[in-house]
Amino acid sequence: MIETDGPGAVTLGEEDRALAVAAVKAVLRVASDDEDALIAAFAETALGLAEQFLGMVLIARALRVPVAVRGAWQALGVAPVSAITGVETAAGVALPSDGFAIDIDAAGEGWVRIVQAAGVTSVMVLARAGLAEGWAGLPAPIRQGVVLLAAHLFEQREASVAPPSAITALWRPFRRIALRPTAHAC
């Protein structure tokens, strides 16, 4: 499990990294292992850019999401959320379970309402989010777009050439665009 602060900050696990590197190398027609570390870095960058474009966490991982202490329901701002496991202060002190309420709606949006946090103005919500458990579980168009973008970044690393528009065409059907509700429908 990888801990991060949200979409766009991606570090692949060993197995997912190997699968991503192999896919990018196949597109590039690279047989040597000499540049695997660089290709892996570009694959992680491309996956992070895909997450930012799509507005969702792609490969499931643990998240620590900062939330202001208010009495109202607040969306976590990451999706799709599969679990909210707790709430703690920035110092890592867990809030008692009666100090907050949690919910995950049908769209995979995580919600939290902090009701008791004496002397604390913000907390960290511990959650797990992601569209797929690993690289192989990603929808093929998303995975292919990531591979094409990583290959483009590798090939054009000395130039400033825009990525192919086919990449966003592959991703666009999965993009989450919605007005954020101001209130939780409970």
Residue 7 sits in the same domain as residue 41? yes
Q: How many distinct structural domains can be found in the chain?
A: 2
Residue 78 sits in the same domain as residue 120? yes
What is the phi/psi pair of residue 175, to 5°? -70, 135
∠ CA 89-125-85, nearest 5°, is: 110
Query: Bridge-partner residues for 103, per DSSP?
Result: 111
Residue 39 sits in the same domain as residue 74? no
Residue-by-residue pLDDT tens, the chain, 186 positions: 344 556 667 889 999 999 999 999 999 999 999 999 999 999 999 999 999 999 999 999 999 999 988 889 999 988 999 999 999 988 888 999 999 999 999 989 999 999 877 788 889 999 999 999 999 999 999 999 999 999 999 999 988 899 999 999 999 999 987 666 556 666
Residue 44 sits in the same domain as residue 92? no
Helix (H, G, I), strand (E, B) or coil at 73: coil
Residue 165 placed within a domain: yes
Residue 10 sits in the same domain as residue 99? no
Give the model's pLDDT for residue 116.
78
The structure's pTM equals: 0.85
Give the model's pLDDT for residue 159.
86
* DSSP letter string, 114-135: E---TT-SEEEEEEEE-SBSSG
Residue 125 sits in the same domain as residue 151? no
Q: Which domain holds residue 80?
A: 66-129
Residue 53 and residue 168 in contact, taking contact as beta carbons nearer than 8 Å: yes
